[in-house]
Amino acid sequence: MAGRPGRRDLILETFIRHVAERGYDQTNLGDIANELGMSKGTIVHHFGTKAQMLRELEDNYMSQRKRELEVIFERLQSPAERLAAMIYAAIFYQVEYRDATIASQREFVQLAGDPEMLKIREHRSDVQRMMQQEIRSGIDSGVFRDVDEGLATLQIFGSLQWMWTWFNPKGRRTPDEVGAAFVDLTLGGLLIDRFTLTALSDPTGRVPKIVHECMHEAASASQG
């Protein structure tokens, strides 16, 4: 059984929730200290600055996303399945890691000129490259239409990155159904033969099931 989070983890967790709810600029270390019943100096002792907390948020969040996708890609081989899995996963993050997802996505432009943050955000670039490579692979294998894979990646990735502005985990449609709708629209525009689209966009199908399993597997591995 996992133990209670340490003081440092609790501070970072609270910071992430405040950023998700208020935004980075409106997040105040004094408010976090008051909520946790500690001094502001304790937070500074553990992290130094608010900017360092944002760096850790982004590093931890995107590193975990990369690990999950690596596990998913071991289970799924075709470009269409892998691309569908990346879409489902992006929706599931909005539920499983909601505060961190919102905080990361809404504050992507923060510290844009910070060399440390630029290095950390290579994780995000790696994930985009993984998507672009699968689109390219699908084109080369004759599964996808001959589109500009770079532009297609930006369109898909960009639309998923803004989900935090409208997605409601308790809405009328389940996360699996929302993911299926995205897959249907996205893959429907890429696939030359849409015969496999029904299976890919089935919210109870193989792909979302594998994504759920791999996310839980990656989470357990990181905690172990």
- Write the CATH number for 16: 1.10.10.60
User: Do residues 137 and 153 share a domain?
Assistant: yes
User: Do residues 216 and 111 share a domain?
Assistant: yes
* Confidence (pTM): 0.91
Q: How many domains does the chain have?
A: 2
User: Do residues 114 and 82 share a domain?
Assistant: yes
Is it the case that residue 7 has pLDDT exceeding 90?
no
> Pick from 141, 128, 135: which is nearest to 84 by CA?
135
| CATH code, domain carrying 217 | 1.10.357.10
User: Do residues 30 and 88 share a domain?
Assistant: no
Task: Collapse the DSSP code of 211 into the 3-class scheme (helix H, G, I; strand E, B; otherwise coil) and give the result.
Answer: helix
> Pick from 124, 140, 128, 117: which is nearest to 49 by CA?
117
Mean residue pLDDT across the chain: 92
- The confidence score (pLDDT) of residue 2 equals 42
User: Do residues 33 and 60 share a domain?
Assistant: no
Task: Collapse the DSSP code of 121 into the 3-class scheme (helix H, G, I; strand E, B; otherwise coil) and give the result.
Answer: coil
- The confidence score (pLDDT) of residue 5 equals 57
Mean pLDDT over residues 205-210, rounded? 97
User: Do residues 5 and 99 share a domain?
Assistant: no
Is it the case that residue 47 has pLDDT exceeding 70?
yes
Is it the case that residue 187 has pLDDT exceeding 50?
yes
CA-to-CA distance for 149 and 139, rounded, in angstroms?
Answer: 9
Mean pLDDT over residues 72-86, rounded? 96
Range of the domain at 19: 1-48
Q: Please report the DSSP string for 11-38 in residue order.
A: HHHHHHHHHHHH-STT--HHHHHHHHTS
